[in-house]
Structure 1
Amino acid sequence: MLEKQTDYNKAVTSPTFQELLKRKRAFIVPMAIFFLTFYFLLPLLTAYFEFLNQPALGAITWAWIFAFAQFVMTWTLCIVYTRKAQQFDKLTEDFKKEIGGVGS
């Protein structure tokens, strides 16, 4: 039995695939920039500024609060991406049906 061959040139130019790429890029690029900026701010700020070494809550300094916020930010971005991925999965399924691929 012969399997239907997918025309990848046609698939990559399909409007559904282009919309999937556009939406993923619109979400992933800003989130990656935010994450990397937030992540590298702590070592940069502690290296060049003294205000993060000032007490915030008793003996806890602002650097510790910022470091803890990085954990919160990482988990939050993970949850947001997981929810957003469901939309990407729906677009992927639509695309697979459109081109007659596996799982359609």
Structure 2
Amino acid sequence: MANVSSKKQAQAIDYDAIEAMESFNSFVKRKNTFLFSITAIFLILYILLPILAFQPVLQQKFIGNITGVWVYSAGLFIMTIVLCTVYVKKAASFDKAAAAVLAEYQAKGGK
């Protein structure tokens, strides 16, 4: 047991040092900006459905007997798929940026 706890102590990460790194702060700012933007877009468009559902603009028939509410609702499904796809593609670049920050930390003597 003592051997396991000594390995954990030897591999301790100095989170304060990482937080002080400019590259880490830049990475977190870019990631948060992206995440909050994509979340805001989703929530605004999603919350607009019950607000606009009873407005005359979405009560009009678009295709045959299909009203704008149905078209808008279908658009929300498409929007969800698109936003998820965008996030998955962007997450790969965030993973690379996080690895670069970790590599910089280790190059400066971090464990």
TM-score (norm 2): 0.82
Q: Is the 8 A contact 1:6 1:99 kept in 2?
A: no
Tell me how far apart the structure 2 counterparts of residues 46 and 27 of structure 1 sit (CA, whole Å): 29
Deviation of 1:20 (Å): 1.2
What residue in structure 2 maps to residue 13 of structure 1? 20
Give 5+ residue unaligned stretches, structure 1.
none
What residue in structure 2 maps to residue 57 of structure 1? 63
Tell me how far apart the structure 2 counterparts of residues 42 and 6 of structure 1 sit (CA, whole Å): 47
Instruction: Find runs of 4+ consecutive structure 1 residues off by over 6 angstroms.
Output: none
Percent identical pairs in the alignment equals 33
Q: SS at the partner of 1:98?
A: helix
What residue in structure 2 maps to residue 74 of structure 1? 80
What residue in structure 1 maps to residue 3 of structure 2? none
Tell me how far apart the structure 1 counterparts of residues 11 and 64 of structure 2 sit (CA, whole Å): 68
Q: Is the 8 A contact 1:38 1:70 kept in 2?
A: yes
What residue in structure 2 maps to residue 29 of structure 1? 36
Tell me how far apart the structure 2 counterparts of residues 27 and 35 of structure 1 sit (CA, whole Å): 12
